[in-house]
Structure 1
Amino acid sequence: MVAISRSNVRRVRRVNGGGGEVLDVLIDKIPYMSQLSSADRLLLLCGLALLGTVAFASYFLISGIFAGSATADGGKAKDSDTRLSPTDRMGVSDQASLHRSDGNRIFDDWDVSNSEMNKLKNISLPHGSFFFGPDSHQVDIPESDVFDPSASWSSLQRELLDDDSDAINVELEKKRCASYDFGFPDFTMPLKRRRLFYGALISGDSAEVIKATSMEQYNIYHTVSLIESNSTHNLSPKKWRFFGSEDASKELNWLYQLFGPKTKVSMDYYIPSLEKGQESDAMYLDYYQREGHSYRWKFNGMRPDDIAIIADIDETFSRDFLRALQICDVPQFRPGQSCRAPKVYASTLIFESSPECAWKTKNAILGECADQIGDTKLHPPTKRDRWESHGTRLDYYGHDNEYTYYDTKVLADLNIEGQGPLWLPHEMRVESFMGQRVTKKDGSPTGYHFHNFFMSTEEIIFKYATYGHADKKARKKKSIRYIHDDLMMAVMCTLGKHTEKTESSFENPSVSWLANDDERKNVTKPLSPLAMAAADWLEEEEDELALYWDRYDVAKKSSSKEQPQSTPPQPLLDTDINTTTEERLDRYYESRNIDRGVERQHATQIKHAIETSKKASSADEAIQLLTPIRQYLQYNTKLGGNAYFGLAQALDASDQVDEATDIYEKLASSPHIEIRRKSRELLAMGTSRRKRTYSRNVWNWFWDAC
C-alpha cells in the first residue's frame, strides 16, 4: 500500500494571508472539521455548495409553479366575462375574429409566461400569436425620456423636411407629379393627401439606420406598424428588444418619438407556435410575422382609399416620392381596382454597409387591395400553401401573376370575372412584378435601403446564420466576405475595390439623413462595423502572415528542413527575390513596432504568470501575479497581448477602471484577431458588465476545483 499525504495535494495555494487561510482558521474551530485534511475540507465544501444550489433551485421552481397558477387563474377572469363583446375584449370585430383563422375564433388568453404581455390584445393564428401594444398616441412618455429628433437636424435637413403643412401648394405638387409621370387629381374633388400606413419588422437593427429611415419619413405616415418576434427565422430563440425590461421601455419610448408627433407608432409582438424544423422554408417565418401589420392597420382605422406600404425598417421610399403618392393620380391607387397588379415599386438606391457603398427594391398598394381592409366579397380569398390561407399563393391561384385556377375554380362559382384576391403584407414584397416601377425623370432614386448597418460583426454573422435562408456555416467561414455576395460587395467597396458587375448608380441621390450644410462634401456619418470589418479583413490576412512567421520560427529553432505549408498573401510580401526570409521577418516585426527580444528571454516566466493568474481566487491576487512581468510585455505580440488582457480584466474587477480601459484600447488594435475582438467587445460593455465577466471566471475556477 502506498501512503499519500493529503495535505500536499491542495490545488490552489493562497498567498499573503488570503481568503483561504482565513477560511481554514474558521473551519478549525468547528468540531470534527479540524481533524480533516485540506483536500477533504475542499471536497466537503463543494458538496455543501452543490446541495445548496439544488435546494435554491427547488424553492424557486415550486414558487414559480404556484405563481404561474395564480396568474393563469387571474388572467382568465377577464377572458370569460360574457358581458364584453369580442370587439371590446380584443379590438377586432366578431367577423374579423373568424376571418383568416380558418373558422377558429381569435382569442386572447394565449399561454405566455410573461403576464404583462398576456394583458395585451392578442390573436391566435395557426402559425403563432400576435400581441398588440399601445401606439405612441396612447402612452404617456416619462419626462426623462422625452426628446425632439429635429433638434439635431442641420439647416439643410430642416429645409428638406419642412413640408408637412396642412396647406397644399398646388403648383409645387403639379411639378412633383409630373416628375414621376403621374397625373394630377381632378379639381372636381377636394384636394387632400392620402393617408399612408407603414409596416416593417424590427429586431437588432442599428439605431443609426432607424434614425436614417425615420428622418426621411418624419410626420408623413398616419401609422407605423412595427413587429418584433422572440425567435429568428430558423426559430432560434432571441430576447425581446422592446419588451420586458427598463432598458426596453426606454428604447421603445425613443422609437415612439422618431417618426414625428403626427404619426401613430406601435410595437407589436409575434410568438410563433411552430417547433424548430416544422417549417421547411425559413422565409415563411418572415411571411407569418408580417401578417400582424394588416390587423394593426385595421385597429388604427385604415380605409380602402388609404395606402399600405410594406418594407424592412432599413428601407424607405424617398420623402419626395412619399409626398407624390399622397397627392398624385397614381393608376394603381384609383378606386375600383381588380387587385391583380396593384403594386407601386421604388427604384431603390441601396447603401451596402456604408453611405459610400451604394448600388441599385419598396412596395405600396391601395388599402382596397390589402388583407383585412379590402372587401372579400369583391376579392374572394385565394388558396395558399400553408393552412390554405397563409404562406405563398399556389400556382395558378395568383402566384407569379398566373390566375388560371383562381378564375375557373374560385371566381367562376361566384359569377365574378377579372378580380384578384386581397394581398397579405408579405405578398406586397415577394410576389413577382405585378404593378408599376417608378423612376424619377431626372434619374434619381425613389427609395433607399440601408443594408447591413449593424453595430458589430457578430450581429452580421448572427443575421446570416439565423434569418432568411439561414447559412448554418456562417459562423465557421474564414471571413465575413465569404458569407454572402452582399457582404463581399461591401468589403470590396470599403477597400476601394469597386466591382462594375455588382454596382450601378443614380444621377441625383438625395436622402435627408446624408444632407448637411456643405452638400455632403464633409459628411462624417458613422460607417457600420461591417465597413470597419473590411479593414479587419486585411488584418486577418496579416494574422495569416504572422502565423506563417511563427511556423518559420519553430522550424528554424528545431533545425527542421521542412518548409512552411501555407503561402503568405502576396500583396503583403516584398517581391524582391534577393530579400532573405530573416530580413522579411525582421521587417514584419519592425512594421508592427514589436521588439520580441526581451519578451522571448522571459517567455517561461510570463507564461507561468498567466496560467497562475487564471487560478487566482481574487482580482487582487491576479494583479499581484501579473504586475512583476509587465515590464517584459509587448502589446502587439500574442503572448504579451494575452497577458495584458488578463491584467486588464483583473484591474476592472478591482475598480481600477481607467487603467483597465487604457489597456483595452491599446489591445483593440492588436494584430491578433482574437485579442482584438475580445478587447473591443469589453470596451463596448459597461464597467459593471465587465466586472461580471471576471466574476464568471472566478466561479469557473471554483467549479474546476470541485
Structure 2
Amino acid sequence: MLDGPMLVKAATSMEFSLDIPTDILSEKPTSFFRDLQSQIDQDDPQKRCQRYGYQYQYHPSAKSRRRRLFLGSLIAEEPLELLQIVAAESYGIYAGMVFVESNRTQNFDPRPVRRANDQNHIQQLQTLFGTPQLQIRLYTNEKPRFTGIRREHAQRQEILRGWKEMGMTPFDVGIIADADETFTRDFLRAAQECDIPHLDYAQHQCFTSNVKLAASSLVFETSPECVTAQRGWYHPEMILGACIEMIGNRSVHPLAFRDGPRRAHGYGRACSKDFSKLVPGRHPLWNAADFRMLCGRQAYGGGNDNGHHHHHSSRSNYTGFHFHNWFTSFNATRLKYKTYGHAMKARKAFTWPLYQIGKNDLKLMYHCVRNMPDEKEQKWKRVLGGFQNILPPIPIYFADTQYLWKRHEWIKKQVQMDDEMVEKLQQSAPT
C-alpha cells in the first residue's frame, strides 16, 4: 500500500516528509483514573437513574445482577492514545468486546493488518479495557466494487458473530461504536442499573421505532480544546440482545428483507412509517447496519427526562463523547480523507490546506488551534473558551490537565508544519 508521503509524491511529483507519528499519553498512574472511575461507580444508583429520567430497578443483589453489556467496533489505525481515552470511560464494564479489522479500506485500497487475531494485541486491549473476553476479527472481501458504506456495514456484521461466540444472550445489551466514540461511564452504569424502556423487551417486542437508544455525544475535534458547539452527534447506539440478529429468537422475529445494507421497503426502513409488510409481534431482528442507520431515541442527561438542557443545571445533557480525528499525525488524518467512505482524490486530500478538507470539521480545528474566530457561514462552530467552558460530564482521561496541555500544544505545532508543507507544494506546483 502506498503510504501518505508516497501518495503525495504521486499526486504532486514532489517528495517531502511529514511529522513522525507520536502518541501523547497521560503520565498519571493507573490509580489516578481508577479512583475517578470508582467515584462514578459508587454514585447513588437512584440519583443516577433520575438524571436520565429513569427509575432504579432495585433488587437485593443489584450489583451482581447488572445487565451485561457487549461492545463492538471497527478498528484500523487508531493510536494507543485514543484507545486509552475511550478505555478510561469503560474500564471493567464490558462483559465482552469485539473489534473488526479489515485488510482493505472502504474504497478498496489495501492496508496492512496489524491487530487481527494477534494474541499480543488482544491481551494488550483486554488489559487496557479490563474485559474478560475480547476478539479482534479479520474481515476480508476481495470484490473491488464492494466499497463504501456497504463494505463498512459488512465489516460490522462480524461483530454480531463475535458476540454470539462469546455467549451473549437476549437479556444482554449490545453497543456498536466507532473506535473514537463512547457512552459516558455514568450512562453505561445507568444502562446496567436502570429501568430503561428501550432495554425492556416487554415494552417494545422489537418494534422498529422503540428499540435503539443512542448517545447524545459531545464532539471534540482533534484537540480537547476544540469542542464543537450545538452539534447533535447520535452515536454510539445500544440495543437489547433479544432484538439483535444471531442473538434474538428467529422463530418469533424473522430477518428483514434487505435492499443492500438497508431494510427493504415495508420492513421498518423508516422510523414512523413503512411497516406495511411487518406482522404484529414479529418485527424483524436488527443487524449491525441497523444499529447505525435506523432511527431511535437519543439518551439525554442533565437531571431531566425530556431531552432539553436546564438553563441552571450544573451538568450538560450529553451521554457520550466523540473524539474526532484523534490521530497522531496529520499525515494519518489526510490518509483517512483519501480512503474513507466518501473518499477525496489523493491530490486534494494531500495538497489542500487542512481547513479545506473534512466537511468543516478540520476548519473548526484549524480556527481553534490558530486562535482565529469562526467564520459566519461555517457549518460547525466551537465552544468559546474551549475545554474550561464545558459542563460535566467530562471525559475521565481529560481530568489529567497536563495531558490536555500537551495534546493541544502538539497539535499547534503540527498545524504550523502542515501549513508550511502546503505552502511549499503550492509554490512548486506547475502553473
Give the TM-score range, shorter chain: 0.7 to 0.9
**Residue of structure 2 in register with 1:439 after alignment:** 301
The alpha carbon displacement at 1:186 in A equals 5.1
Change (3 A) 1:332 1:528: farther
Check whether the contact 1:443–1:507 (CA below 8 A) recurs between aligned residues: yes
**Residue of structure 1 in register with 2:391 after alignment:** 507
**Residue of structure 1 in register with 2:21 after alignment:** none
The alpha carbon displacement at 1:176 in A equals 0.7
Distance 2:327 2:26 in 1: 24
* Residue 89 of structure 2 is aligned to residue 222 of structure 1: no
Change (3 A) 1:251 1:333: closer
- Report the 3-state secondary structure (helix = DSSP H, G, I; strand = E; otherwise coil) of the residue aligned with 1:368: helix
Distance 1:477 1:449 in 2: 27
**1:426 aligned to 279, 289, 293, which one?**
289
Distance 2:357 2:382 in 1: 22
**2:265 aligned to 392, 395, 400, which one?**
395
The alpha carbon displacement at 1:272 in A equals 1.1
Deviations 1:644-663 (A, max 9, x none): xxxxxxxxxxxxxxxxxxxx
Check whether the contact 2:55–2:195 (CA below 8 A) recurs between aligned residues: yes
**Residue of structure 2 in register with 1:491 after alignment:** 366
Where in structure 2 are there 5+ consecutive unaligned residues? 1-24, 304-314, 384-389
Which letter maps to 1:324? A
- Report the 3-state secondary structure (helix = DSSP H, G, I; strand = E; otherwise coil) of the residue aligned with 1:291: helix
Distance 1:229 1:448 in 2: 25
The alpha carbon displacement at 1:255 in A equals 2.2
The alpha carbon displacement at 1:509 in A equals 3.7
Change (3 A) 1:152 1:507: closer
Distance 1:476 1:156 in 2: 40
Change (3 A) 1:293 1:251: closer
Which letter maps to 2:357? I
**Residue of structure 1 in register with 2:205 after alignment:** 338
Check whether the contact 2:330–2:418 (CA below 8 A) recurs between aligned residues: no
The alpha carbon displacement at 1:222 in A equals 0.4
Distance 1:530 1:394 in 2: 45
Deviations 1:231-288 (A, max 9, x none): 00011111111158xxx6544432232111x4312111111142x1x23x51111100
**2:56 aligned to 170, 184, 205, which one?**
184
- Report the 3-state secondary structure (helix = DSSP H, G, I; strand = E; otherwise coil) of the residue aligned with 1:453: coil
**1:383 aligned to 257, 281, 290, which one?**
257
Change (3 A) 1:384 1:182: same
Distance 1:272 1:437 in 2: 35
Change (3 A) 1:243 1:422: closer
Deviations 1:543-600 (A, max 9, x none): 489x59xxxxxxxxxxxxxxxx99xxxxxxxxxxxxxxxxxxxxxxxxxxxxxxxxxx
Which aligned pairs between 1:287-686 and structure 2 lie closer than 5 A?
A: 287-336=153-202, 337-339=204-206, 340=208, 341-359=210-228, 360=231, 361=233, 362-386=236-260, 391-401=261-271, 404=274, 406-408=275-277, 410-411=278-279, 417=280, 419-431=282-294, 433-441=295-303, 442-473=315-346, 474-484=348-358, 485-499=360-374, 502-503=380-381, 505=383, 506-516=390-400, 520=401, 523-527=404-408, 532-540=413-421, 543=424, 547=427
- Report the 3-state secondary structure (helix = DSSP H, G, I; strand = E; otherwise coil) of the residue aligned with 1:162: helix
Check whether the contact 2:122–2:134 (CA below 8 A) recurs between aligned residues: no
The alpha carbon displacement at 1:334 in A equals 1.1
The alpha carbon displacement at 1:184 in A equals 1.3
Which aligned pairs between 1:81-92 and structure 2 lie closer than 5 A?
A: none
Deviations 1:170-198 (A, max 9, x none): x7101111111111115499662110000
- Report the 3-state secondary structure (helix = DSSP H, G, I; strand = E; otherwise coil) of the residue aligned with 1:489: helix
The alpha carbon displacement at 1:329 in A equals 0.8
The alpha carbon displacement at 1:502 in A equals 1.3
Check whether the contact 1:491–1:530 (CA below 8 A) recurs between aligned residues: no
Which letter maps to 1:379? H
Where in structure 1 are there 5+ consecutive unaligned residues? 1-148, 412-416, 549-564, 567-706
**Residue of structure 1 in register with 2:109 after alignment:** 236
Aligned length: 376
Distance 1:530 1:427 in 2: 36
Which letter maps to 1:512? I
The alpha carbon displacement at 1:527 in A equals 4.5
Distance 2:273 2:282 in 1: 10
Higher relative contact order (CA closer than 8 Å, sequence separation 6+)? 2
The alpha carbon displacement at 1:326 in A equals 0.5
Change (3 A) 1:294 1:544: closer
**Residue of structure 1 in register with 2:47 after alignment:** 175
The alpha carbon displacement at 1:498 in A equals 4.4
Deviations 1:54-83 (A, max 9, x none): xxxxxxxxxxxxxxxxxxxxxxxxxxxxxx
Check whether the contact 2:66–2:193 (CA below 8 A) recurs between aligned residues: yes
Check whether the contact 1:354–1:531 (CA below 8 A) recurs between aligned residues: no
- Report the 3-state secondary structure (helix = DSSP H, G, I; strand = E; otherwise coil) of the residue aligned with 1:316: strand
Change (3 A) 1:447 1:215: same
Deviations 1:413-450 (A, max 9, x none): xxxx154311112321222x323432333215211111
The alpha carbon displacement at 1:489 in A equals 1.7
Which letter maps to 1:488? K
Deviations 1:504-551 (A, max 9, x none): 5542242111113xxx38843435976544223543576489x59xxx
- Report the 3-state secondary structure (helix = DSSP H, G, I; strand = E; otherwise coil) of the residue aligned with 2:405: coil
Distance 1:150 1:220 in 2: 21
So what's the TM-score if we normalise by structure 2?
0.78
Distance 1:422 1:163 in 2: 37
So what's the TM-score if we normalise by structure 1?
0.49
Which letter maps to 1:437? A
**Residue of structure 2 in register with 1:269 after alignment:** 138
**Residue of structure 1 in register with 2:123 after alignment:** 253
* Residue 143 of structure 2 is aligned to residue 282 of structure 1: no
Check whether the contact 1:307–1:366 (CA below 8 A) recurs between aligned residues: yes
Q: Quick check: which has more Rg, 1 or 2?
A: 1
Deviations 1:447-492 (A, max 9, x none): 1111111122221122111111111244354223222221222212
Check whether the contact 2:69–2:93 (CA below 8 A) recurs between aligned residues: yes
Which letter maps to 2:150? Y
**1:158 aligned to 10, 34, 54, which one?**
34
Distance 1:532 1:212 in 2: 22
**Residue of structure 2 in register with 1:201 after alignment:** 74
Check whether the contact 1:457–1:530 (CA below 8 A) recurs between aligned residues: no
